Structure 1
Amino acid sequence: MTWTFLDDPELRRNLLATGTLIFALILSRFAVLRTIRNMKVSSDAMRRRWTASVRNLVLIGLGLGVMVIWASELQAFAVSVVAIAAAIVLATKELIMCVSGSILRATSGSFAIGDRVEMGGVRGDVIDSTLLSTTLLEVGPGHQRTGRAVVVPNSVMLSGGVTNETFMDRYVVHVMTLPIKAEDDWRSAEETLLAVANDACADFVEPARAFMDRLSDKHSLPKFSVEPRVLVAMPKAGELELVLRVPTPVRERGRTEQRILRTFLERRRGDAAVVPPREDADTSLF
């Protein structure tokens, strides 16, 4: 059998140095332990501690010596390992981000199956969640389901965040926006809209207030009003917006919004000041 790898003089020097180091450490350990056994100490526990310390020092010396002797070879090996690791990370970057997003969701409790969320620009009800992706039953305009299932990679939770519209579980404060012309009677429109909202939400106000109070106490938050409220906004010159805030059950926001809008338009029929709500109207929560 031919040991061709021993033809390398540097390799022979390293092997010889390693053998010499091991022999020297074994000899030193033997001599020190013999000295400890012959010493008079106060207790056997101290002798055992010294013996263990010598053993650990020998191992540390062996590790450091091998690293010094084989430094060039270890450096080349480390570079190869780093290059391989970098290639693996680049090839599996998206998978790693998806798994990280899943871990973030599990540790933060940001949403669960059945919640209505918006993530990655998609809004819908969560019907499945795996290690790599989340499946949403899409919800379109008017809070109506489209019937389409959208699979969203969990990696979007690391960059875009997640909006959980059902975080409050039972009741939410819903916002809808109605644009009107600045020169028309916005005070009359405001009074009509507020009256319609009070009628539509009469059954929700007290339960919603009690629920919000419990939620505030649980999370040490200041209590806030849930009664219907109308704010006036001016997005640009010559235009006004009536921003209505109303309490509603989580799963009935679409019905409540349509009930208010239809009743409001019926009461102001023939008034050209009111135009249909914009499609991009804000329906986020306060």
Structure 2
Amino acid sequence: MEQIKQWTIDKPTLYSVVKYVLLVVFVFVLIQLVRRLLRKQVTDSTARYKSQKAIEIVGYVVLIFLTVSYFTGNIRDFTLAIGLFSAGVAITLQELILSIAGSLYIFVVKVYKPGDRIEINGIKGDVIDVDSIYTTMMEIGQWVSSDNYSGRIVKLSNSFVFKGPIYNYSSDFPFIWDEFNIPIKYGSNIELAKSIVIEIASKILSEYTANSKSQWQEVVNKYYIEDAQVDPTLAITLNDNWIQFNLRYIVDYKKRRLVKHILNEEIHKVVLETNREVELASTTLELIKIPELSVELKNNQTHANL
């Protein structure tokens, strides 16, 4: 620093800028060294990720404090400097400031974390990283059916946590309710059909039902919400074409498509074994009777005078 001071003795402003840049570089280098040390020493991936993010946030705070105190020259002017600084950059850096504030909000309030499945700003996917500016997601849906990965990695500004709703599939309660309809033909043994659907659903979903009950109770105790049915339920509706069975059940949020496939396959297999006592309906047209048609043909002769 003395050599730099001698070199810039006639340029005090240049000396201050060089000194400030060196201090910033030193802080950045120190942050990277600490991050590398944590990466080597901490074996648990979750703890390693959180500790590195914490070091990154601390680094930003240190840089802000260092910048203000350096250019004001007095810690007592810190509040005034912050006010002037905020007024100067509020418009030009509004999105950046909101993103940084959003990252702090996500970290402190635990809106979501890496590994959660969320939907935000119309984008649905699994969170794979949250930094000081962006949330990175592995997208699901779009042109692929159900909850499958599309293959696109999406970076979304953290400022969106202040701009709209955030749907979290896995926070507090990592289960979701799903349902599908089963058309049963009129004339089928309805009681047998009901027992088939409920027995298969209870057997296949037993693990999810058991695991979800205790976790749902924690949600009820934590939030102002009424208790809900987590066991599989069946509702019956009569319409013009068939008897509609609506099966509603609870399932792991990442296994919705697989479980629906297994349920449909097993129900169809058992229904076929009933020897048409229970039949699945379909949209078909049945002609009960063809009306009698009477056709009379008359030959008209035309005479022409030549």
TM-score, L = length of structure 1: 0.52
Are 2:267 and 1:258 aligned?
no
CA distance in 1, matches of 2:187, 2:98: 53
CA contact (8 A) 2:127 2:137 kept: yes
Structure 1 unmatched ranges of 5 or more: 1-80, 276-286
User: Which residue of structure 1 lines up, in the alignment, with residue 178 of structure 2?
Assistant: 175
CA contact (8 A) 1:132 1:153 kept: yes
The Cα of 1:265 is off from its aligned counterpart by: 4.1
Percent identity of paired positions between Structure 1 and Structure 2: 19
CA contact (8 A) 2:178 2:251 kept: no
Quick one: which amino acid aligns to residue 122 of structure 2?
Answer: G
Quick one: which amino acid aligns to residue 157 of structure 1?
Answer: V
Quick one: which amino acid aligns to residue 280 of structure 2?
Answer: D
Deviations 1:194-243 (A, max 9, x none): 34322211233333323333444455765433111134689x99999755
User: Which residue of structure 2 lines up, in the alignment, with residue 155 of structure 1?
Assistant: 159
User: Which residue of structure 1 lines up, in the alignment, with residue 11 of structure 2?
Assistant: none
Q: Structure 1 residues 145, 190: closer, same or farther in 2, change over 3 A? A: farther
The Cα of 1:172 is off from its aligned counterpart by: 1.5
Question: Larger Rg: 1 or 2?
Answer: 1
CA distance in 2, matches of 1:152, 1:233: 43
Aligned residue runs from structure 1 range 1-286, under 5 A: 85=87, 88-140=89-141, 141-168=145-172, 171-178=174-181, 192-217=196-221, 222-231=226-235, 243-267=246-270, 271-273=280-282
Deviations 1:100-139 (A, max 9, x none): 3223322321111111111121111111111221001112
Q: Structure 1 residues 239, 149: closer, same or farther in 2, change over 3 A? A: farther
- Count of residues in correspondence between the two structures: 191
SS in 2 for 1:135: strand
Quick one: which amino acid aligns to residue 271 of structure 1?
Answer: L
CA distance in 1, matches of 2:158, 2:138: 16
The Cα of 1:250 is off from its aligned counterpart by: 4.2
CA contact (8 A) 2:125 2:139 kept: yes
Structure 2 unmatched ranges of 5 or more: 1-82, 273-278, 285-306
Deviations 1:153-197 (A, max 9, x none): 11222122211101135x524212337599898x67766543432
**Larger helix proportion of the pair:** 1
CA distance in 1, matches of 2:105, 2:207: 38
Q: Structure 1 residues 221, 262: closer, same or farther in 2, change over 3 A? A: same
CA distance in 2, matches of 1:274, 1:195: 27
CA distance in 2, matches of 1:239, 1:100: 55
SS in 2 for 1:91: coil
Q: Structure 1 residues 226, 143: closer, same or farther in 2, change over 3 A? A: same
CA contact (8 A) 2:129 2:135 kept: yes
SS in 2 for 1:94: helix
Quick one: which amino acid aligns to residue 153 of structure 1?
Answer: S
User: Which residue of structure 1 lines up, in the alignment, with residue 23 of structure 2?
Assistant: none
CA contact (8 A) 1:181 1:238 kept: no
SS in 1 for 2:255: helix
SS in 2 for 1:224: coil
Q: Structure 1 residues 180, 271: closer, same or farther in 2, change over 3 A? A: closer
SS in 2 for 1:143: coil
CA distance in 2, matches of 1:110, 1:184: 52
CA distance in 2, matches of 1:106, 1:274: 52
With CA pairs under 8 Å and 6+ residues apart, which has the higher RCO, 1 or 2? Answer: 1
CA distance in 1, matches of 2:237, 2:151: 35
Q: Structure 1 residues 239, 113: closer, same or farther in 2, change over 3 A? A: farther
Deviations 1:63-84 (A, max 9, x none): xxxxxxxxxxxxxxxxxx99x9
CA contact (8 A) 1:97 1:154 kept: yes
SS in 2 for 1:203: helix
Name the Cα RMSD after superposition. Answer: 4.1
Quick one: which amino acid aligns to residue 163 of structure 1?
Answer: Y
SS in 2 for 1:112: coil
CA distance in 1, matches of 2:249, 2:152: 29
CA contact (8 A) 1:101 1:155 kept: yes
SS in 2 for 1:126: strand
CA distance in 2, matches of 1:124, 1:158: 19
